[in-house]
Structure 1
Amino acid sequence: MDTPAIASAPLLAAARGGLAELADPRKAPDMRRYMKSEMPFRGVPSPERRALVRRLVAEHPLSDVDAWRATVLSLWRAAEYREERYLAIDLTGHRRYAGWQEPGLLPMYEELIVTGAWWDYVDDVASRRVGPLLRAYRDTVTPVLWRWATDADLWRRRTSIICQLGSKEDTDTKLLTHSIEANLGDREFFIRKGIGWALRQFARTEPAWVRAFVDAHPALSPLSRREATKHL
C-alpha cells in the first residue's frame, strides 16, 4: 500500500504566519463584503500575497509532486481566511512547479472548483490551470470537460465554458460550442456571464466565427449576447 504524501509543515506554518504579519484589519471587512464571503479575510492585498508566495517557494521548496499536492490541499481544506485559499491557488501556478502540470492534477483542481464554489476561485483555476491542461493534453482532458458541461454543479459547468479564455487560435470550437449549447437555457447569472465572456474573448481571435455563432443561436440570453458582441 502506498504511503500517503505528507504536506510540508514548515511551508504551511510560514504561509499562515506570513499572512498574519501582512494582515490589515482595516481592509478585511471591505474585502469580505465585496466578495460576499462567509470566510473572513486577513486584509492582505494581492501584490503582497504574491510576494509572500515567491518567498515561501524559495525558502521551502517541495521536492516532489505528491508533497506539493498534499501541501496545496492541506492549506485549502484547513483555511480559516480566504487569502489562505488564494495562496493555495498561487502555489499551484508557480513556475517552479510547472513541470508537474499534467492530467493527474484534475481531481485536485476539481476539488478547488467544487468546494470553492465562487467566481474568484473558480475563474482562476478554470482559465489558468484547467485551460493549459486542456491545450497540452487534449485527448485526456477534453472528455472530462465535455462531461462537466452538463454536470449538475454550476461551477463545473462554468469551468467547461470559460476554460479556453487564453486559448486564442488553439480554441477547440467543438468543445466551446458544446459547453455553451448545453447551458443555453440556464438562467444562472454566472453561466450566462461566462458564456458571454468566453465568446467575447474568442472574438478577439475569430470575430467572424463568434458573429456567426451568435446569429445562429437566438436562444442566447441578452446578457450573453451583449457580452459576446461587445467588441464586434
Structure 2
Amino acid sequence: MTLEVSLIQAVRAGLEELANPAKAPEMQAYMKSDMPFLGVQKPERVTLLKSLPVLTDRDEWLEAVQTLWREATYREERYVALALSGDRRFQSVELMPWFDEMIVTGAWWDYVDEIAARRVGPLLRSAPEVVRPLMLKWSVDADRWRRRTSIICQLGAKGATDVELLTACVDANVDDRDFFLRKGIGWALREFAKTEPGWVRSFVESRPGLSPLSRREALKHM
C-alpha cells in the first residue's frame, strides 16, 4: 500500500470514528449543504490532520488531495482535502488549475474564501506575472465564485496589495446584485482600510454605484 493510499484511508477512517450524528444535521443546515456532514467539528479535524502520514512526494500529495476532494461523500472529507492543499512545501503557480477546480466545484464560501485568501493570494504575490492576468479574467467570469476570488484574494496583503488589481476587480463587479460579490467587495475594502483608510474612504466616496452592503462593510471600522 502506498503512503498516498494510507493517508486517504486514514482520513476516511478517522472521520468515521469521530462522526457525531447528533451534530451532523445542524452543521449541514447551517452550511446549506447538499453534501451531508459526519458531524466532525474543526478542532477534531485539526487533531486528525496532525496524526496523518506525512507525504514527501509532490505527486503523491496532489493525488491524495484530489482524490479526497473529488470522491468526497461527506463535507468533512473536502475540509481535510482543503487543509492538506495548503502544504507550504508544494505551493507553486502550477497548482492554479487545481485551485480553480476546487473553487468551481466547491462553489460555496466555506471553501472559496480559504482558497482565495490562503492559496491564490500568496501565489499572486509570488508569481504576479501569471496570477494577476488570471484574476483580471476571473473578475468578469460568468462564475460568481471565480469573481469573488478575484475580489478577496488580497485579504491580508496589507502594504503588498496591488491597488490597481483590487480596483479593477471591484469595479468589474460593483453593479452586480449578488450577495456574495457585494459582501466580498465590502470585506476586501474593509481589510485594506486597515492599511490605507484614506484610500478606501476616497474609493467608496467616488463610487456612487457601490451597494449599501459593500459601502457599510468597507467603512465598518472607520
The TM-score range, normalised by the shorter chain, is: over 0.9
User: Partner residue of 2:60?
Assistant: 67
Q: Hey, what's the Cα distance between the residues in 1 that align with 2:58 and 2:198? A: 42
Identity of aligned residues (%): 59
Using the TM superposition, give the Cα deviation of residue 63 of structure 1 relative to its aligned residue in structure 2, in angstroms. 2.5
Could you say what secondary structure the match of 1:134 adopts? helix
Q: Hey, what's the Cα distance between the residues in 2 that align with 1:64 and 1:132? A: 22
* 1:1-232 map, 5 Å: 8-56=4-52, 60-93=53-86, 97-232=87-222
- The structure 1 segments of at least 4 consecutive aligned residues displaced by more than 3 Å after TM superposition are none
User: Partner residue of 1:3?
Assistant: none
Structure 2-normalised TM-score?
0.97
Q: Hey, what's the Cα distance between the residues in 1 that align with 2:29 and 2:90? A: 36
Using the TM superposition, give the Cα deviation of residue 120 of structure 1 relative to its aligned residue in structure 2, in angstroms. 0.4
Could you say what secondary structure the match of 1:210 adopts? helix
CA contact (8 A) 1:134 1:142 kept: yes
Query: What do the CA deviations read for 1:78-136 (whole angstroms, capped 9, x no partner)?
Result: 0000000000001012xxx3132110000111011000000000001111111111111
Q: How many residues align?
A: 221
CA contact (8 A) 2:96 2:120 kept: yes
Structure 1-normalised TM-score?
0.93
Using the TM superposition, give the Cα deviation of residue 51 of structure 1 relative to its aligned residue in structure 2, in angstroms. 1.2
CA contact (8 A) 1:44 1:83 kept: yes
Using the TM superposition, give the Cα deviation of residue 7 of structure 1 relative to its aligned residue in structure 2, in angstroms. 8.4
Q: Which letter does structure 1 place at the counterpart of 2:192?
A: F
Q: CA RMSD in A?
A: 1.1
Q: Which runs of 5+ in 1 are unaligned?
A: 1-5
Q: Which runs of 5+ in 2 are unaligned?
A: none
Query: What do the CA deviations read for 1:20-41 (whole angstroms, capped 9, x no partner)?
Result: 0111111100000000000000
